[in-house]
Structure 1
Amino acid sequence: MKIRSFRPLLSGAAAMALVLAAPADAQFGGIVYDPSNYAQNVLTAARALSQINNQITQIQNQAQSLINQARNLASLPTSILAPIQRDIDRTRQLIQQAQQVAYNVSDIDRVFNQRYPAGSLSGTSSADLVANAQARWHDALAAYQDTLRTSATVAGNLDDTRAHVGTLVDASQSSTGALQAAQAGNQLIALETRQLADLTTMLAAQARSASIAAARAAADEAQGREQARRFSRAGSPYVAQSVSLFRD
């Protein structure tokens, strides 16, 4: 509600006080009229009205300040934190569902001690050598599949990212206060965090498949040397013989 200013009234009162300031006395019906006293009273009333007008202006400024503070404290009506958390949980499930060789130090040590031995293979039976080679092949195949699944999930998040960015930018541009703008910025940071999580998961999956493939190649090479050694020591060595293709 707009409050009228008392300045026109103050100006009129001041003008009347100046007109009546002439030092003349009059008597009306036994009442002595003192113009100077009347003018002093008018000036006193004018000062009082001026103070009231100033107080009203201060109240209006305080009310506007409270309105601005209320706008700054208003929460952002838009939130994408739940979808972001859902995407992060989906990516985390991919890590937990890793096949053959899990993302776990103790499991990696156990698998490598069994199927990727670094020592001599002389004490390993031929059946175990074949079984370990087959298991290593499954390890590599499963790692490639996990990498492809991770890539598909990360690529599927791109559409959600585009929609979330548009929503947050619109909310930030239409924000009415500092809190709403800050909350929109915080949600954009959360979206970037999810993108970093996707990137980290993708790099981890690629590094895992590449490491398993390299370990498999090294183990297969060691196994090949062992099998060649056993073959060369089994039975009589090969002796070349002359062969006649045509008879005289």
Structure 2
Amino acid sequence: MTSRFFRPLLIGASVLSLAIAVPASAQLSVYDPTNYAQNVLQAARALQQINNQITSLQNQAQSLINQARNLTSLPTSALSGIRQSIDRTRQLIGQAQQIAYNVQDIDRVFDARYPAGSLTGTSSGALVENAETRWHDAVAGFQDSLRTQATIVTNLGDTRSQIDTLVTASQDATGALQAAQAGNQLVALQTRQLADLTALMAAQNRAASIAAARAAADEAQGREQTKRFLAPGRGYVAHDVTLFRD
């Protein structure tokens, strides 16, 4: 009787002691689908934020690279060759013969050799000397014009080489600054070509103006010499001339 009474108590005590001895971490957890979905959604949002930050950093890095390219200077420069061509043309203009490209010199020469007033008081020797000097002025003007043309034709070879260099540099430009610098140098090259054309027109017009001034001065001198030749008592006096003798 006693053993039958205590046996259920012993079994219950053993079960209770086992339940107390099992740690809490070993206990089975209950699956909650709602909580699991929220955790997955939060993880996805965190991953998306990280991806956005990575994309932003990549864009900033690319922007810095582009800025560095845009600030890179053009390694090619044609300015030295352009200056040399301009200096050749300027030097040629400075070597103008007889009449310089200078207002004061032009006024001085015209007062002496191309007078606009009367030639009555000018001696015959001075008239002849001025006529010869004007002829030299005209010849020198045409020669200067031809020399200017030859110099500009020589510059054409340099122009072709410079255009090829600058266009290639513009096409190979890595940034906005290089492209702008190549464009600026092309504009400078065009400016030099305009300067050459201006010098050529000036030389041709100078030669034409000197020739026209010479023609006008020679016409005035011709009238003066004709007047002196026909002046009564002071001009030409006819003399009897015997061509054959008996």
Q: TM-score, normalised by structure 2?
A: 0.80
- Give 5+ residue unaligned stretches, structure 1: 1-27
Residue equivalent to 1:190: 188
1:68 and 2:66 aligned: yes
Which aligned pairs between 1:70-219 and structure 2 lie closer than 5 A? 70-219=68-217
Matched residues in 2 for 1:244 and 1:133: separation? 35
Give the direction of change, closer, same or farther, for the CA distance of 1:179–1:148 in structure 2 (3 Å limit).
same
Q: How much has 1:237 moved relative to structure 2?
A: 4.3
Q: How much has 1:90 moved relative to structure 2?
A: 1.2
1:230 and 2:224 aligned: no
SS of residue paired to 1:132? helix
Residue equivalent to 1:5: none
Which moves more between the two structures, 99-108 or 226-235?
226-235
Give the direction of change, closer, same or farther, for the CA distance of 1:55–1:128 in structure 2 (3 Å limit).
same
Residue equivalent to 1:50: 48
Residue equivalent to 1:18: none
Q: How much has 1:68 moved relative to structure 2?
A: 1.8
Q: How much has 1:131 moved relative to structure 2?
A: 1.5
Q: How much has 1:75 moved relative to structure 2?
A: 1.6
Give a deviation string over 1:179-204, Cα, whole Å, max 9, x none.
Answer: 22222111111111111100010000
Residue equivalent to 1:3: none
Q: Is contact 2:229–2:236 with CA below 8 Å preserved after alignment? A: no
Residue equivalent to 2:24: 30
Residue equivalent to 2:9: none
Give a deviation string over 1:105-156, Cα, whole Å, max 9, x none.
Answer: 1111111111000111001111211121121111111111111110110000
Aligned residue pairs: how many? 218
SS of residue paired to 1:199? helix
Q: How much has 1:162 moved relative to structure 2?
A: 0.9
Q: TM-score, normalised by structure 1?
A: 0.80
Which moves more between the two structures, 113-122 or 168-177?
168-177
Q: How much has 1:158 moved relative to structure 2?
A: 0.8
Give the direction of change, closer, same or farther, for the CA distance of 1:60–1:115 in structure 2 (3 Å limit).
same
Q: How much has 1:236 moved relative to structure 2?
A: 6.3
Q: How much has 1:61 moved relative to structure 2?
A: 1.3
SS of residue paired to 2:52? helix
Letter in 1 for 2:124: S
Give the direction of change, closer, same or farther, for the CA distance of 1:64–1:140 in structure 2 (3 Å limit).
same
Residue equivalent to 1:17: none
Matched residues in 1 for 2:217 and 2:36: separation? 115
Larger radius of gyration: 2
Which aligned pairs between 1:237-248 and structure 2 lie closer than 5 A? 237-238=237-238
Q: How much has 1:40 moved relative to structure 2?
A: 4.4
Identity of aligned residues (%): 68
Matched residues in 2 for 1:212 and 1:168: separation? 41
RMSD of aligned C-alpha atoms? 2.4
Q: How much has 1:50 moved relative to structure 2?
A: 2.3
Letter in 2 for 1:117: P
Q: How much has 1:48 moved relative to structure 2?
A: 2.4
Q: How much has 1:47 moved relative to structure 2?
A: 2.6
